[in-house]
Amino acid sequence: MNKENLNLNDIVSRQFDKAAQHLGIHQGLLHQIKACNTVCFFQFPVKIGNRYEVFHGWRAEHSHHRKPVKGGIRYSEMVTQEEIMALAALMTYKCALVDVPFGGAKGGVRLNPRKYEEEDLERITRRYTAELIQKGFIGPGTDVPAPDLGTGEREMAWIADTYDAFHPGGINNLACVTGKPVSQGGIEGRKEATGRGVFYGIREAFSYADDLKKVGLSPGLEGKRVIIQGFGNVGYHSAKFLAEEGGCKIIGASDITGAIYNLQGLDIAKLAQHRAQRKTLLNFAGSRNLSRPEALLELDCDILVPAALENQITLANAKRIRAKAVAEAANGPTTPLAEEILLKKGVLIIPDIYLNAGGVTVSYFEWGKNLSHMRYGRMQKRLEEIQTRTLLESTEELIERNFPAQVLRRLAKGPDEIDIVNSGLEGTMISAYRTIREALHRSKSIKDLRTAAYAVAIKKIARAYVELGVFP
């Protein structure tokens, strides 16, 4: 008990096995679902300044029960083949859980993007993309990457442009990758999608009074004290929506440079501005710096949101976690042994394969938009405005009163792309949580949300294989 296995691939495998034992699915089919179908490792040279560097790159395609496969590309010095395989598996289960018709995949290049100039990163990205193209690991109908740790809209635009150069005239070329800038075939709301999905998921989980009573919390988000570990894209947007739309009090935050806290609450907009100017969260006005950034996880709060890397809550610190709920915005932040300790303490754990599925959900919307070659809302917006205005005018005649002009404009407004995207994301997160919760309450043997989420995902994937005729 003094040591634990922190290999993410082994952890995901254990979580799979824990859920699978409750399902009565044929062992051979379980082996097929669990196995990573294809892994590609390659090395490629790139000229950096006056020298050449050789980079290590990977792409793993975990499951082909649905096509294309889908998963982000991360740039990190910590990238390993085991990590990429584990993240690809998580993508498979995540997509199945939220009914996004993709198999899971993941890619990565071992590097620290902070050490390279933009022009160097562009060369690295384009060469990595060329390798993927030559090996058949990218394409609108085969394998569709997206942003992940260390990458963003900029890198996705480079990937799309490189793919287009290799496939001149392909009318669906933009669908080879998601997370692109809106002006380059992206979709409104994609950048903040994972963080917004985290908010929707926590909000839904906190709407069930019976569940929250068990952990000593009242229903609703208003006034809940929240700590955000990892103030990157996901952490920032999670904090923003939890504060602005949920009414939560963000009392602590951290990034790669350190951690801060203020028990009276942090102004997230000002904190983001401070970090943009200073390149750090430290020394933010009204807050205190923590001498040990990892101590942020151990502060008393209602909701702890790990939004950084895997293996943040482990056997070493689990007993000191004082949060009443852990909402996993990152992949694999809680180890199995740590989870056992938290569950015994009565902590509500909202699992990663559900909670951070907002990114791939909106990526699915973007992929569909690229294939349809039509912006969401473009054809129906004006028609819906006319229909709604006609209804409102009829209502005014019936009640013999007029709506204020400002209210009339707001009510009659047809949906823009962002409205449709957010509506679709919200509905997806609500529906998925209710499915997980129902599976948990229906089962006599499953005792936690993570196991219930895996069970739901595995059953859906198993059904797909049976329907395909792969297994009788």
- Inter-residue long-range contacts of 12-18, CB under 8 Å, 24+ positions, other chains counted: 12/86, 12/89, 12/90, 12/332, 13/89, 14/336, 15/336, 15/450, 15/451, 15/454, 16/89, 16/93, 16/454, 16/458, 18/451, 18/454
Annotated catalytic residue: which of 70, 94, 106, 224? 106
Q: What is the 3-state secondary structure (H, E, C) of the chain?
A: CCCCCCCHHHHHHHHHHHHHCCCCCCHHHHHHHHCCCEEEEEEEEEEECCEEEEEEEEEEECCCCCCCEEEEEEEECCCCHHHHHHHHHHHHHHHHHCCCCCEEEEEEEECCHHHCCHHHHHHHHHHHHHHHHHCCCCECCCEEEEECCCCCHHHHHHHHHHHHHHCCCCCCHHHHCCCCCHHHCCCCCCCCHHHHHHHHHHHHHCCCHHHHHCCCCCCCCCCCEEEEECCCHHHHHHHHHHHHCCCCEEEEEEECCEEEECCCCCCHHHHHHHHHHHCCCCCCCCCEECCCHHHHHHCCCCEEEECCCCCCECCCCHHHCCCCEEECCCCCCECHHHHHHHHHCCCEEECHHHHCCHHHHHHHHHHHHHHHCCCCCCCCHHHHHHHHHHHHHHHHHHHCCCCCHHHHHHHHCCCCHHHHHHHHHHHHHHHHHHHHHHHHHHCCCCCCHHHHHHHHHHHHHHHHHHHHCCCC
* Cα atoms in the Cβ-side hemisphere of radius 13 Å centred on 324: 17
User: How many other β-carbons are positioned within 10 Å of the β-carbon of residue 335?
Assistant: 23
Told to judge if 47 belongs to the known catalytic residues of this protein, a careful annotator would answer no
**Distance in angstroms (rounded) separating the CA atoms of residues 167 and 161:** 10
Catalytic positions: 106
